[in-house]
Structure 1
Amino acid sequence: MKLAQISAIPFIFDVPDSSIFVFRNKEEAKFFSASLTIKGKKFSYFPGDGILVLDNPSKLSDFFQLPQNSLHLEEQMKIKPEYILTFLVKNGYSRVSFDPYEEGDFSLVGDVFEIVIKKGKKIRIELFFDVVEKIYLIHQDEYKIERLKSFRIDSRTDVKSVKVSDYFENVFCFCKGELCDEHSKKTQSLKLLEEVLSLKILDAKDFLKGKENIEELLSKGYEIIFVVRDSYEEEFAKGLGTKTKRAVNLPYPFIIPERKFAVVSFELFSSKKKKETKPKLPPINLEELQEGTYVVHKVHGIGIFRGTTIEYGREFLKIEYKDSAMLYIRAEDISLLHKYIGIDNPPLDELGGKTFALRKKRVKQFIERQLSHFMRAIALRRAIKRPPYFRADDILSHLSQTFLFEETPDQKKAIEEIVEDLCEKDYPADRIIIGDSGVGKTEIALRASAICAYSGKQVAFIAPTTPLALQHHMTFKQRFYDFPFEIAMLSRLTPEKEEKEIIRKIREGKIDIVIGTHKVLNILPYFKNLGLLIIDEEQRFGVSHKEKINRIRATCDVISLTATPIPRTLKMALSGLKDISIIKTKPLNRGTIFTTLIPEKNLKDVIEYELARGGQVIYVFPFISGLESIMLKLAKIFPTSRISSIHGKMRPKDIEDIILAFMYGKVDILVATKIVALGLDIPNANTMVIERADLFGLSELYQLRGRVGRGDKDAFCYLVIPDNISQKSKTRIEFFIDSVNFSDDNIGFKLSLKDLEMRGAGNIFGKEQTGHIYSVGFDLYIEILQEVIESMKEKLELKKVDFEPYVEIDIPAFIPKWLVDDPIVRLSFYRAFAMAESEDDVEEIKKVIIERFSRDEKEIYQELENFVKISKLKVLMRKLKVYSAIFSKDLSYVDIESEKGKVRIPLLNGIDDFMQIMRKSLPENA
């Protein structure tokens, strides 16, 4: 019997301890058992009977991941908190300040650890001095808590690949009445096979329908094991008089009549399918809920938290509304509240929520309008098909080994997600990589480029400025030095003759990777076989460039890189629509950036120190008018240093020339406005001075600070503020310094939110969106966004239509081969046209084709125009349930058949006439 044919059916039986049987997934081993005999060693998850669980018995020869390092904890065990903390940090867990939510995050508050071991599952460890007092398993999405006697924390980084067949002495699979051993041919095993071959095993679902059947089997002397997942199911099982075992899931309940043995689960007694749990927004942070805090109630709107009170034996939260009206909310209903993040001192709502309901309705309508175009683009992208790329494992392995920094867990995860996007999915990827400066986003783009080029496709990498493009080009040339990839660069620095030669080679497919500025966007139609488009800091491109990018992204794989932070709640809201990878952790051997306030009189010493160690200095000031005086002052103090300045009013060419000079070490001190936060990577610039730091937003300061500390040297960011600034401004700067020096990962968005609270949302979001955020508060805005997305997700599925309209007309109508020569891509566009739900959808698909493949956007392709008309006509026919339309040869009439019957319609202007008639027949809002 071939292993691939084996179906995993659970099997429990009295067998020698060295035998191992196959179940559905590894998780079950942790609960079903596993004191397994493995080459003479004990391999234990929890006490049990000696059973292994695998995810797929057809992959028994494959490798599985076995943690090499773990920490076992049990109640009353003596252990120092410092030891647990050190283990977590060294084994791939990320510390956060409070309420960990993402997998791999943990917090330590007092003597209590909370560790998210798996999405939706959190372990809480309570210590009393050096003793483990209590261990809890918290189901975050279901709000359930279970107490455990012990738990094992596995390493997230120290993992070894182990081959099942080499590691276990005996591995058995059960299939259709046969027990077979594909990996071990020992005599003992063969005897065991002979013993059990005659056993008949039945599917319990066919025989057990409820409580009565269980009682009947028990009366016949059956041993019944009830697999339970929680305390409720355990109590239910005990009420039936059965034995219980804990497990994540029982895929196949079964009965062995000859042995009077059965294994059942709660599913046999429940007719309802368990609903798939949607990711929930994290509850309000209790640390932020202080008396006097502005909050938002989902029904009543904006109010002020006035503390708690005990009434009628229950605790209530008091919320003050307009005209001193007071709302009492039961403490258990705290999930109805969000902290208000928006403007200072917002007006209070009237209790009852009438005006608030209207504001929420407007917000929802605004979000729906914003998302409609986005949803069409997603549907189009998923309609376009392309074959998966080759995995290029050898190249990826080499790139990993030659990477100068050790890959962080976040980087590894992002790379795995990119590989899955490109090599396992059959529609174009559209993933955004988010991470602070210096976390290694470019390396991930580089790995994706390797996969694409290895598969014979071309890569286009665009950056908003020439210096950035130049840096990426240098990185790619260096990292791909050992590979036969042809890499070119296009920017304003490229000579005209060389540019023409590069475009010629792109047309012929002789260049694999092209890196450049928006110039690359203009030549995308010339690519012979474009596979991947990489965009660095897309938000820095102009409107026309963004429109081009949005049309092109449906026809090829797209990866966007950005340092603009994103809130966890927004990431959750966009899940399923936008593929997002977040990199929080910097490589281990990156230098530390020390941030501090400094008096102006000490600036000479700190700049002198940096110049003395051969480094460069960036000096930032908020106003163009002050740059010249700063340069004169620095020139007097450092007469031998080379000093230049840049600001946003200069010609782009002049800005780039000075930045390039700074990159090449021809400038020692660069004086600039915030324009310097361009995303440059200059490892030799390790001191930054920000004068009048109080006039910058916190997120702006954070982005500026990220320009130093790009190499392995320690870096310094010095903030200068006047003595007479307000206490609020001083507090904000102190908050920034404490956050960046001592806080946890992913601080970027926390600073943005602090800006939103203290300076307004206009610094983060557009003006129109900002107004809507102010009206309901940021958190509720995100929740409404999530609700809208959930309601619109069904539009992503391919809808089945009751019929496909038939159109017969004597005009040439097709997608020209000379325009789209790849047959797979061309057929994908036909499929996209067939799926179009509106005339706007059809027009958008046409624009994508022209933008992507036409070298002259103004050129008219009559065959394509005719096909577009017919596609729009079919959209109208579907809406009006017109099954067929047969036009006369001279287009003077059309015979149609609909649910109302057949009719002939005379026409003056052919198909255009008929389409106009159809549009007028549409009901409103159709």
Structure 2
Amino acid sequence: PGEQSIILTGLMKGSVDIVIGTHRLLSSDVIFKNLGLMIVDEEQRFGVSHKEKIKEKRADIDVLTLTATPIPRTMYMALTGVRDISRINTPPEERLPVVTHVSVYDPALVQKAIWRELERGGQVFFVHNRVKTIQAMKTHLANLVPEARIGIAHGQMVEKELAERMREFTRGEIDVLLSTSIIESGLDIPNANTLIVDRADRFGLAQLYQLRGRVGRGAQRAYAYFFKGHQGSPTPEGRLRLETIAEHTDLGAGYNIAMRDLEIRGSGDILGTRQSGYIASVGFHLYTRLLADAVNRIKKDHGGPSGMEDLPAQILRPLVKIDLPLAVGIPEDYIQDQSVRLALYRRAASIFKASEIIDLREEFKDRFGPLPEIVENLLIQLDLKLMAEKAGVESIFVQYGKIALGYPEGKALPQPWEFDAKVRFGESTVWLPLNPRGEGWIQGLQRILTSLTAF
């Protein structure tokens, strides 16, 4: 208490330039003379109420938050431009991805995993997140691997005892550390390269990623085992979380995992207190557009600027649906690496200019060789989508054996003289004299969309 009082006085008088602390710094009795920068590490551990207290400290304070897995609310704010985001993608030298295994709990596999780690002189984290049954789990592990030295660590232990247990593990006096999720962050033990998590389906995605980060912190190959329980199937969300952690094993996968967490849990309330929501019910892109439109209407009703010009173009671009008899995609036999294929799909979805399609085509040729027909069709469809956006077309599809252009409800249709071919008009649809089974229909559709864009 005496030391705290000295520090608090120094902060108030300005004699302390930098202070490092826990949530204690957000207390009402902590007063800064001239606070200019606040750095928040492990941002996913802070609730909305904590972050609001940060804002209260000073209106124009600069805040830098650090996290390997942003919570959905923070991720969404970054994607929509409310917050700036920077990514560190380069891992430390000699760092290897963690081999990840997901299955139903298997004592034989647990025994094999521990034996393999002990044989190479390493140590094991075993996470069992129930204090009431942690002693029974220790007995179970002792029966599986009697030669292993097992230590227990959890948050209900006396502080000195817990600290001593962690020091014993760091010194290598314990082979298997049986603990709750308190090991989630703050530990750097290069000799511990096997992680086993019991009932992993009950953990959040950020927790699973943080736990996996406890191993593989040196040059040795690390292994992570995430087990489901025998009794009862995981919830749909739990299953999705395990599938996501198993899929994203590359170094620096936290960003992709956070994106998946955003899709699973939703974005929460930007102006409220919930940090997750129900975005999956409508889809991320539609949700983003609905929110942007709602904010725009409210601002207009109050006589203020819409602010739409400040939103990212990805949110404001029209949604064009194309349903044509074209096989499109990036086949596995052309690009084997799934992460590379997904990255190229994301890049294709974010294209705004025809020149970007040309650049993407050249990159395909340069990196992977001549384009298969299915990839060429993908680029053609992207080109049609861009032209449709410029022409105000909402959808392109096949109906009655003809190519049809769909327009938004209430939008005036083009006049007959704006087409370079004979067409039929409906209430919000224009049928073109192009047979998708014939030859040259793609080029004909491109010419028509080009002429519509010129008007």
**Superposed counterparts of 1:238-253, under 5 Å:** none
Q: Select the structure that is richer in helix.
A: 2
- Answering whether residue 37 of structure 2 is matched by residue 532 of structure 1, we say yes
- Answering whether residue 159 of structure 2 is matched by residue 633 of structure 1, we say no
Q: Return 5+ residue gaps in structure 1 as ranges.
A: 1-495, 798-926
Q: Is the 8 A contact 1:709 1:715 kept in 2?
A: yes
**Superposed counterparts of 1:34-45, under 5 Å:** none
Supply the AA of the counterpart residue of 2:42.
E
CA–CA separation in structure 1 for the residues paired with 2:48 and 2:274: 17
CA–CA separation in structure 2 for the residues paired with 1:611 and 1:712: 17
Q: Is the 8 A contact 1:574 1:786 kept in 2?
A: no
Q: CA deviation at 1:612?
A: 5.0
Q: CA deviation at 1:551?
A: 0.6
| Secondary structure, aligned partner of 1:513 | coil
Matching residue within 141, 146, 152 for 1:644: 152
**Superposed counterparts of 1:731-880, under 5 Å:** 735-736=243-244, 738-741=246-249, 745=253, 746-752=255-261, 756=264, 761=265, 765=268, 773=279, 776-788=282-294, 794=305
Aligned to 1:570: 76
**Superposed counterparts of 1:641-790, under 5 Å:** 641-646=149-154, 650=156, 653=159, 657=163, 661=167, 664-665=170-171, 668-678=175-185, 680-721=187-228, 735-736=243-244, 738-741=246-249, 745=253, 746-752=255-261, 756=264, 761=265, 765=268, 773=279, 776-788=282-294
Deviations 1:543-568 (A, max 9, x none): 66444212115243221122334679
TM, length-normalised to structure 2: 0.51
Q: Would the alpha carbon gap of residues 684 and 550 (structure 1) be closer, same or farther in structure 2, given more than 3 Å must change?
A: farther
Q: CA deviation at 1:594?
A: 1.1
Aligned to 1:86: none
Q: Would the alpha carbon gap of residues 772 and 591 (structure 1) be closer, same or farther in structure 2, given more than 3 Å must change?
A: closer
CA–CA separation in structure 2 for the residues paired with 1:505 and 1:743: 41
**Superposed counterparts of 1:602-613, under 5 Å:** 602-611=109-118, 613=120
Matching residue within 114, 118, 123 for 1:616: 123
CA–CA separation in structure 2 for the residues paired with 1:545 and 1:526: 16
Supply the AA of the counterpart residue of 2:97.
T
CA–CA separation in structure 2 for the residues paired with 1:654 and 1:541: 26
CA–CA separation in structure 2 for the residues paired with 1:547 and 1:640: 47
Q: Is the 8 A contact 2:228 2:234 kept in 1?
A: no
Identity %: 37
Deviations 1:194-253 (A, max 9, x none): xxxxxxxxxxxxxxxxxxxxxxxxxxxxxxxxxxxxxxxxxxxxxxxxxxxxxxxxxxxx
Matching residue within 558, 583, 596 for 2:101: 596
Q: Select the structure that is richer in strand.
A: 1
CA–CA separation in structure 2 for the residues paired with 1:545 and 1:616: 36
CA–CA separation in structure 1 for the residues paired with 2:306 and 2:2: 48
CA–CA separation in structure 2 for the residues paired with 1:543 and 1:737: 25
Supply the AA of the counterpart residue of 1:747.
N
Deviations 1:41-98 (A, max 9, x none): xxxxxxxxxxxxxxxxxxxxxxxxxxxxxxxxxxxxxxxxxxxxxxxxxxxxxxxxxx
Aligned to 2:56: 551
Q: Would the alpha carbon gap of residues 601 and 587 (structure 1) be closer, same or farther in structure 2, given more than 3 Å must change?
A: same
Q: Would the alpha carbon gap of residues 560 and 503 (structure 1) be closer, same or farther in structure 2, given more than 3 Å must change?
A: same
CA–CA separation in structure 2 for the residues paired with 1:629 and 1:580: 45
Aligned to 2:369: none
Supply the AA of the counterpart residue of 2:125.
I
Q: C-alpha root-mean-square deviation of aligned residues, in Å? A: 4.5
TM, length-normalised to structure 1: 0.27
Q: Is the 8 A contact 1:680 1:707 kept in 2?
A: yes
Q: CA deviation at 1:687?
A: 1.4
**Superposed counterparts of 1:386-401, under 5 Å:** none
Aligned to 1:519: 24
Q: Is the 8 A contact 1:590 1:709 kept in 2?
A: yes
CA–CA separation in structure 1 for the residues paired with 2:276 and 2:245: 27
- Answering whether residue 89 of structure 2 is matched by residue 581 of structure 1, we say no
CA–CA separation in structure 2 for the residues paired with 1:706 and 1:778: 28
Q: CA deviation at 1:751?
A: 3.9
Q: Is the 8 A contact 2:100 2:224 kept in 1?
A: yes
Q: Would the alpha carbon gap of residues 656 and 551 (structure 1) be closer, same or farther in structure 2, given more than 3 Å must change?
A: farther
Supply the AA of the counterpart residue of 1:632.
T
Deviations 1:796-818 (A, max 9, x none): 89xxxxxxxxxxxxxxxxxxxxx
Supply the AA of the counterpart residue of 2:257.
G
CA–CA separation in structure 2 for the residues paired with 1:651 and 1:744: 33
CA–CA separation in structure 2 for the residues paired with 1:533 and 1:697: 27
CA–CA separation in structure 2 for the residues paired with 1:504 and 1:521: 15
Q: Return 5+ residue gaps in structure 2 as ranges.
A: 309-455
CA–CA separation in structure 1 for the residues paired with 2:75 and 2:8: 44
**Superposed counterparts of 1:373-522, under 5 Å:** 496-506=1-11, 509-522=14-27
CA–CA separation in structure 2 for the residues paired with 1:541 and 1:565: 11
Q: Is the 8 A contact 1:617 1:686 kept in 2?
A: yes
CA–CA separation in structure 2 for the residues paired with 1:751 and 1:655: 39
Deviations 1:231-278 (A, max 9, x none): xxxxxxxxxxxxxxxxxxxxxxxxxxxxxxxxxxxxxxxxxxxxxxxx
Q: Would the alpha carbon gap of residues 635 and 511 (structure 1) be closer, same or farther in structure 2, given more than 3 Å must change?
A: farther
Q: CA deviation at 1:688?
A: 0.5
CA–CA separation in structure 1 for the residues paired with 2:78 and 2:51: 25
CA–CA separation in structure 1 for the residues paired with 2:29 and 2:191: 35
Q: Is the 8 A contact 2:204 2:241 kept in 1?
A: no
| Secondary structure, aligned partner of 1:582 | coil
Q: Would the alpha carbon gap of residues 652 and 664 (structure 1) be closer, same or farther in structure 2, given more than 3 Å must change?
A: same
CA–CA separation in structure 2 for the residues paired with 1:671 and 1:683: 17
Supply the AA of the counterpart residue of 2:200.
A
| Secondary structure, aligned partner of 2:214 | coil
CA–CA separation in structure 2 for the residues paired with 1:655 and 1:790: 57
Q: Would the alpha carbon gap of residues 628 and 548 (structure 1) be closer, same or farther in structure 2, given more than 3 Å must change?
A: same
| Secondary structure, aligned partner of 1:580 | coil
CA–CA separation in structure 2 for the residues paired with 1:537 and 1:643: 27
Supply the AA of the counterpart residue of 2:152.
S
Q: Would the alpha carbon gap of residues 571 and 519 (structure 1) be closer, same or farther in structure 2, given more than 3 Å must change?
A: closer
| Secondary structure, aligned partner of 1:530 | coil
Q: CA deviation at 1:520?
A: 2.8
Which structure has the bigger radius of gyration?
A: 1
Supply the AA of the counterpart residue of 1:787.
D
Supply the AA of the counterpart residue of 2:54.
I
Q: CA deviation at 1:532?
A: 1.6
CA–CA separation in structure 1 for the residues paired with 2:251 and 2:32: 46
| Secondary structure, aligned partner of 2:69 | coil
| Secondary structure, aligned partner of 2:86 | strand
CA–CA separation in structure 2 for the residues paired with 1:782 and 1:652: 48
Deviations 1:170-199 (A, max 9, x none): xxxxxxxxxxxxxxxxxxxxxxxxxxxxxx
Supply the AA of the counterpart residue of 1:720.
F
Q: Would the alpha carbon gap of residues 682 and 555 (structure 1) be closer, same or farther in structure 2, given more than 3 Å must change?
A: farther
Q: Would the alpha carbon gap of residues 608 and 619 (structure 1) be closer, same or farther in structure 2, given more than 3 Å must change?
A: same
